[in-house]
A = this chain, B = another copy of it.
Amino acid sequence: MNTIKLDDYQIHLGAFGEDLRDYLTKGNYNQVFIIVDEHTRADCLPFLEKQMGSVPYNIIEIQSGEINKTITTCSQIWQKMIEWGGGRRDLTINLGGGVIGDMGGFCACTFKRGMDFIQMPTTLLSQVDASVGGKLGIDFAEIKNSIGLFKNPLAVMVWPEFLKTLSLRELRSGFAEVIKHSLIADATQWSELRQIENMEVAHAVKFLEKSILIKKSIVEADPFESGLRKVLNFGHTIGHALESNALNTDQPLLHGEAIAAGMICESYLSLEKGLLPQDLDQITQFLLKQYGKCEFGTDSYPKLMALMQQDKKNDTTEINFTMLKSPGEALFNQVASEADIIASLEYYRQQ
């Protein structure tokens, strides 16, 4: 088992039972809440329950899906905590993907002005992405993560075995963040992983620790996203808009699927900007092979533009992007015009 040390908490990578019981003993908590959805309750909770030792706990089950990452679901979680007489001396364990980690963490931090919480990410996306950075929150008014906080957990516990509970589609979705980390910061890793033909759990496990370390080095240099950390937004400005746009349709996109499309568009923007002189086609073809194509028409351009304007990383009315100088090297605070952005969406659609 490996331990990755961050400023004020650790990521435990591997079988974490002993460490968990250690935290539970040291914290001397009044009670423990475990937040799950219907999937992690069935697939992951039995494993966690075995690790809890004799510590009693209350289970709070919410409905899975980004569509439920709302203030309404927060109210349900807070209500349960109140029913069980929850307080500041309790602990919350968030057992699930990004939705549970972001929302459960937000609820724990705001209930009675805050209790400790442990993140136990069960998807590849959340293991790679949400385990570093302390970003918590919910979607509001159709804008992803528009309400939230920066707050680090007591600890993160990553058990790679949980990845076996995922569908291939979910695994691929999470792998988009692994690809992103290599594109913005590690050319060697990019060369390695684009050899992958058919993605499987072993690929994810292979790149997991390295990918967390890339994110750690970026976040530690800029915890509150005032500069460098923005490179992590590569693929996310257009990707978030595509994801939000598809949210209430009959074909919702998984986060990584939207980000894969966003990375193609934003790589195109990089080329337009005179960066990334020769790798656009390679990036595009690899991502399309892995993720297929997400469908949207020209009629959604106005809504997509409005969603990008709303994105919280935009300080002004101009739209900021992170662009690639080359695979492994990114530049933040790059501005693109509406015409450029539409051209990038056209490029994607014509593939």
Say which residue of B74, B114, B150 sits within 8 Å of A114 (CB atoms): B150
A58 at the interface (CB under 8 A from B): no
CA distance A88 to B310 in the complex (A): 12
Nearest-neighbor residue (CB-CB) of A106 within chain B: B110
Q: Assess A147 versus B111: contact at CB under 8 Å? Given A78-B140, A140-B78.
A: yes
CA distance A223 to B112 in the complex (A): 15
A149 at the interface (CB under 8 A from B): yes
Closest-CB distance, A294 to chain B (whole angstroms): 25
CA distance A316 to B141 in the complex (A): 38
Residues of A76-102 at the interface with B, using a CB-CB cut-off of 8 Å, are 78-79, 82, 85, 87-89
Would A113 and B137 count as touching, CB distance under 8 A?
Answer: yes
Closest-CB distance, A56 to chain B (whole angstroms): 14
Number of copies: 2
CA distance A82 to B111 in the complex (A): 24
Would B146 and A112 count as touching, CB distance under 8 A?
Answer: yes
Give every chain B residue within 8 A of A148 (Cβ-Cβ): 110, 112-113
Say which residue of B109, B141, B316 sits within 8 Å of A82 (CB atoms): B141
Closest-CB distance, A140 to chain B (whole angstroms): 6
Q: Assess A149 versus B149: contact at CB under 8 Å? Given A30-B315, A82-B141, A88-B312.
A: yes
A317 at the interface (CB under 8 A from B): yes
A309 at the interface (CB under 8 A from B): yes
CA distance A148 to B106 in the complex (A): 10
Question: 3 closest A-B pairs (Cβ-Cβ)?
Answer: A112-B312, A113-B148, A89-B315
What are 13 of the A-B contact pairs (CB < 8 Å)? Answer: A30-B315, A78-B140, A78-B141, A82-B141, A82-B310, A85-B309, A87-B312, A110-B110, A110-B147, A112-B312, A113-B149, A113-B312, A149-B149
Interface residue ranges, A against B (CB under 8 Å): 30, 71, 74-75, 78-79, 82, 85, 87-89, 109-114, 135, 137, 140-141, 143, 145-150, 309-310, 312, 314-317
